[in-house]
């Protein structure tokens, strides 16, 4: 789960990470009031969306005084902000963060992630603050300093100091930076984060070390023990169909193609997309109905697939294990009756109770094409998506 | 013989709820020697005709169990894994999906320190066809034989196994290592086991996007593996930055793409199937050539 910058800063400051004074605002009026509460003349007004690159897209404005902050908020709130991370559709801005400006001496980078290869968290730091860490990693991997730490113990202070000195910091600034690193590692552990990123982390002319921007990603699997954090989820930032799918216990990702896929299991669902492309078609989505899909879930899955106007054919690929073929077949029949398909349907069933499943489909009278294996299914679905019909519908 | 489990392996089941009970029954039908269930608070009772114990240690003392299958819900799964490791079980198969990543980061070193082997979490388990299964895979699609299978997926593994069995190619052991960012046994670990197993002649490896497990496996194959390996990597069409069902299946920061992985596998001399429908055929060709 992703959080907004203002939420991330609020949480990090609870862990003692210094952030600029500021407040979130949903209206120009609130933004003006927030600016008035600040001690500085310079005010930064930042669009709050779940995407980076906001500055380049016009979502961040540095202004002087509360009246100017109001104007900036007026311009940003409600705008459709397009950045390299939002996709061409952009995101509607509902809130701005109004913060005190500061005089920056140095911009650095700090981030904590789980290093999958080493199977432990790592704190990464770089002197090249303000740049995407992926860009730094690609251009100059040696510029990224790393300290791995025990997930139970957190980053040791000596590791944090080692990073600070290696970044070229000295004196009080080094001490403050090291302290910030330790606090980031603590937040990562306690919040069950997948990502804590401070970019840039700045040293101000006044000698302060601040998290000027902050990004926080949380482990969805751990939200059961963070009910307070779960409430911070911003549903408006999620693709509506993906949100509906997840509410229905389905795993769905929208893609650009025209063949809808309904599959059990994530690996098989990806492989189904791959084989569609292998045979010259394009998948419209990833959809995993899961191990114990019910008839209601299958119906919901069809509804979601059919809501995509680009879908010209649907490929159902089921390898029955826990999810038995007859249960799935019954679900397909019921769903097809309820939602009126309107596009060709290709079904490939294999695995537990496959004979019963095939019989249910055959006796349903549904106009579907049965496929004998994955390749056959993909070929038929691709042909169907082009308005061709390869051969006659075989007996399921 | 085979790796990890055989028909004499004495097996516990931790988590005797609906899923645990359903799958334990299927395992017993398949021939797995399930000796007891562990359900805190229900010790002294019986379940599927087997004794129930409050703790894993008590179950091990009474039954001599060597392995366990865990169906405990996600909030308690890492704890169940640790309990099994401390009780001295040598094989721990954790089926549970949705275990917090940091729980596994904390638990895995403890499991390793005790010399136990963990499979999963978020996996279909392990099966030695014709002998025993510790997992949720449909038993009948498998066929005893001499090809090892290792995969991060569930149903895609069944698909691959089905393609092998349909061609008359039997399997020595099939391991679903799980789709999470941190799993007990990696592709590399499994390849090492198959390489050392005298009853395995060749291996099918099924990977997917995210992480670098396939690259590490490729390096091992190049350096130390003498047995032929066929592979498929799922997710060539997956967009970057999106989690594809499995917690670990995500292209992060441009890394972990299927193309990179296929390239690494090919460079190690592995036969990579371009289509998931050609996994069985790719292995069949390797076996003919061998």
Q: Of these residues, A30, A99, A109, A300, which one is catalytic?
A: A109
Q: Token pair of B31, please?
A: 């021939």
How far apart are the CA of B218 and the nearest CA of chain A, in angstroms? 14
Which residues 256-275 of B are in CB contact (within 8 Å) with A?
Answer: 258, 274-275
Region B3-26: what's the mean pLDDT? 94
Spacing of C-alpha A312 from chain mean position: 27
d(CA B75, CA A227): 14
Distances B44 to A240, A291, B54, B59 between C-alpha atoms, Å: 50, 32, 8, 11
Alpha-carbon span B23 to A75, nearest angstrom: 59
Question: Within 10 A of A41 (CB to CB), how many other CB atoms are there?
Answer: 13
Structure tokens at A219: 């482990």
Q: Give yes or no: A197 in active site.
A: yes
Give the CA radius of gyration of chain A. 26
CA distance A363 to chain B (A): 26
Q: What is the pLDDT of residues A336-364, one digit of tens each?
A: 888 888 899 999 999 888 999 999 999 99
Catalytic-residue membership of A252: no
Span A40-45, average pLDDT: 96
What pLDDT is attached to residue A389? 62
Q: Under a CB-based contact definition with an 8 Å cutoff, are residues B169 and B287 in contact?
A: yes
Residues of A in contact with B105 (CB under 8 A): 114, 119-121, 151
B63-110: pLDDT as tens digits: 999 999 999 999 999 999 999 999 999 999 999 999 999 999 999 999
Chain B residues whose CB is inside 8 A of the A119 CB are 104-105, 108, 182
Q: Which of A240, A92, A230, A218 is nearest to B101 (CA)?
A: A218
Q: Kindly indicate the confidence band of residue A251, based on its pLDDT and cuts at 50, 70 and 90.
A: very high
| B216 contacts in chain A (CB < 8 Å) | 117
Q: Is the predicted pLDDT of residue A333 greater than 50, yes or no?
A: yes
**Residue from the list B105, B213, B274 with its beta carbon closest to the beta carbon of A120:** B105
Predicted confidence at residue A394, as pLDDT, reads 42
Residue B26, number of CB atoms within 10 A of its CB: 18
| pTM for this model (two decimals) | 0.93
SS3 A8: helix
> What whole-number percentage of chain A has pLDDT above 90?
76
Cβ(A89)–Cβ(A83) under 8 Å?
A: no
Give me chain A's average pLDDT, please.
Answer: 93
pLDDT, residue B2, reads 66
DSSP-assigned letter for residue B238 = P
Report pLDDT digits (tens) over B128-172.
Answer: 999 999 999 999 999 999 999 999 999 999 999 999 999 999 999
- pLDDT for A235 beyond 60: yes
Residue tagged active-site, from A5, A30, A99, A197: A197
Question: Rounded to a whole number, what is the distance in Å from the CA of B13 to chain A's nearest CA?
Answer: 18
Report pLDDT digits (tens) over B182-226. Answer: 999 999 999 999 999 999 999 999 999 999 999 999 999 999 999
- Say if residues B118 and B144 touch (Cβ distance below 8 Å): no
Q: Mean pLDDT lowest for which of A23-37, A286-300, B156-170? A: A286-300
Q: Does B120 touch chain A (CB under 8 A)?
A: no
Residue B205 tokens, joined: 């490896």
* Chain-chain contact of A265 with B155 (C-beta, under 8 angstroms): yes
**Structure tokens given for B136:** 């949720």
Closest residue by Cα to residue A46 from A97, A100, A99, A102: A97
Q: Write the CB contacts of A135 (distance below 8 Å, at least 6 apart in sequence).
A: none
B290, pLDDT greater than 70? no
Given a cut of 60, is residue B52 above it in pLDDT?
yes
Measure A177 CA to nearest chain B CA, in Å. 25
Q: What is the pLDDT of residue A89?
A: 83
Cβ-contact B98, B87 below 8 angstroms: no
The beta-carbon neighbor of B106 closest among A151, A219, A322 is A151
Beta strands in B1-90 (DSSP E): 10-14, 33-38, 46-47, 50-53, 67-70
Cα A30 to chain center, whole Å? 29
Residues of B in contact with A144 (CB under 8 A): none
Task: For residue B155, give the nearest of A222, A224, A264 by CB distance.
Answer: A264
Cα–Cα nearest to A374, from A285, A262, A272, A282? A272
Residues A171-227 have pLDDT tens digits of 999 999 999 999 999 999 999 999 999 999 999 999 999 999 999 999 999 999 999
DSSP state letter for B104: H
Query: CA–CA separation, B277 vs A31, rounded Å?
Result: 58
CB contact at 8 A, B147 and B170:
yes
Alpha carbon of A357: minimum distance to chain B alpha carbons (Å): 16
Closest A-chain CA to B248: A116
Look at residue B217 and give its three-state secondary structure: helix
Q: What is the ipTM metric for this complex?
A: 0.94
Q: Averaged over B257-263, what is the pLDDT? A: 96
Contacts of A391 (CB under 8 A, 6+ apart): none
- Choose the closest CB to B245 out of A251, A277, A320: A251
pLDDT for position A335: 84
Please give the positions of B annotated as active site.
Answer: 246
* Residues of chain A found within 8 Å of residue B25, distances taken between Cβ atoms: none
- C-alpha torsion sign, points B175, B180, B184, B188: positive
Report cis status (omega within 30 of 0) of the bond before A200: yes
Of B184, B252, B244, B101, nearest in space to A191 by CA: B101
Say which of A114, A270, A350 has its CB closest to residue B244: A270
What span, in angstroms and rounded, lies between the C-alpha atoms of B27 and A140? 52
H-state helical runs in chain A: 5-14, 28-36, 66-76, 133-139, 157-166, 171-190, 227-230, 240-247, 266-278, 295-307, 325-339, 354-364, 374-385
> pLDDT grade, residue A396 (50/70/90)?
very low
- Check residue B1 and give its pLDDT: 43
Q: How many of the other CB atoms lie within 10 Å of CB of A39?
A: 6
């Amino acid at each position: 789960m992703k959080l907004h910058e203002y939420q991330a800063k609020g949480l990090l400051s609870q862990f003692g990470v210094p952030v600029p004074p500021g407040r979130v605002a949903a209206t120009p009026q609130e933004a003006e009031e927030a600016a008035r509460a600040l001690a500085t003349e310079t005010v930064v007004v930042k669009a709050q969306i779940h995407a980076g690159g906001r500055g380049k897209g016009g979502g961040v404005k540095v202004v002087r005084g509360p009246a100017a902050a109001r104007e900036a908020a007026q311009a940003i709130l409600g705008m459709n902000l397009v950045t390299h991370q939002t996709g061409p559709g952009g995101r509607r801005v509902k809130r701005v963060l109004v913060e005190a400006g500061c005089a920056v001496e140095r911009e650095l980078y700090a981030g904590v992630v789980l290093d999958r290869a080493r199977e432990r968290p790592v704190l990464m730091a770089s002197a090249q603050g303000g740049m995407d860490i992926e860009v730094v990693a690609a251009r100059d991997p040696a510029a990224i300093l790393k300290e791995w730490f025990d997930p139970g113990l957190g980053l040791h202070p000596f590791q944090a100091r080692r990073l600070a000195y290696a970044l070229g910091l000295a004196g009080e600034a080094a001490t403050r930076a090291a302290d910030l690193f330790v606090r980031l590692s603590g937040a990562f552990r306690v919040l069950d984060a997948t990502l804590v990123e401070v970019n840039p982390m700045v040293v101000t002319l006044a000698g302060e070390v601040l998290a000027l921007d902050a990004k926080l990603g949380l482990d969805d699997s751990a939200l059961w023990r963070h009910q307070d954090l779960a409430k911070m989820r911003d549903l408006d930032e999620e693709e509506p169909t993906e949100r509906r799918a997840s509410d229905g216990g389905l795993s769905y990702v929208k893609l650009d193609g025209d063949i809808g896929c309904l599959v059990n299991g994530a690996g098989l669902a990806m492989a189904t997309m791959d084989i569609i492309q292998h045979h010259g078609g394009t998948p419209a989505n990833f959809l995993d109905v899961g191990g114990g899909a019910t008839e209601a879930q299958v119906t919901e899955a069809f509804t979601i697939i059919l809501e995509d106007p680009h879908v010209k054919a649907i490929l159902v690929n089921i390898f029955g294990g826990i999810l038995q073929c007859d249960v799935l077949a019954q679900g397909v029949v019921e769903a097809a009756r309820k939602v009126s398909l309107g596009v060709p349907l290709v079904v490939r069933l294999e695995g537990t109770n496959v004979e019963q499943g095939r019989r249910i489909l055959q006796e349903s009278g549904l106009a579907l094409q049965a496929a004998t294996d994955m390749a056959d299914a993909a070929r038929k679905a691709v042909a169907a998506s082009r308005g061709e019909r390869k051969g006659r519908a075989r007996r399921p | 013989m085979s790796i990890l489990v055989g028909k004499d392996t004495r097996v516990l089941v931790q988590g005797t709820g609906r899923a645990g009970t359903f799958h334990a029954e299927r395992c017993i039908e398949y021939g797995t020697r399930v000796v007891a269930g562990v359900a805190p608070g229900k010790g002294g009772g019986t379940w599927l005709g087997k004794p129930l114990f409050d703790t894993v240690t008590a179950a091990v003392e009474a039954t001599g169990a060597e392995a366990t299958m865990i169906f405990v819900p996600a909030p308690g799964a890492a704890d169940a894994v640790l309990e099994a490791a401390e009780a001295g079980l040598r094989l721990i198969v954790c089926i549970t999906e949705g275990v917090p990543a940091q729980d596994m980061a904390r638990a895995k070193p403890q499991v390793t320190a005790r010399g136990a082997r963990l499979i999963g979490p978020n996996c279909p388990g392990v099966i030695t066809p014709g002998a025993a299964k510790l997992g949720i895979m449909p038993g009948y699609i498998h066929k005893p034989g001499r090809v090892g299978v290792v995969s991060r997926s569930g149903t895609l593994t069944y698909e691959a196994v089905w393609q092998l069995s349909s061609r008359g190619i039997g399997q020595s052991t099939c391991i679903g290592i799980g789709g999470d960012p941190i799993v007990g046994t990696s592709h590399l670990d499994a390849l090492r086991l198959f390489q050392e197993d005298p009853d395995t002649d060749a291996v099918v490896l099924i990977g997917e996007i995210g992480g670098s497990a396939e690259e590490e496996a490729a390096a091992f194959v190049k350096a130390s593996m003498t047995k032929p390996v066929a592979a498929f990597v799922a997710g060539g069409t997956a967009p970057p930055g999106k989690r594809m069902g499995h917690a670990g299946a995500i292209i992060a920061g441009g890394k972990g793409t299927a193309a990179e992985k296929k390239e690494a596998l090919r460079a190690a001399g592995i036969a990579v199937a371009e289509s998931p429908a050609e996994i069985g055929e790719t292995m069949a060709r390797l076996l003919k050539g061998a």
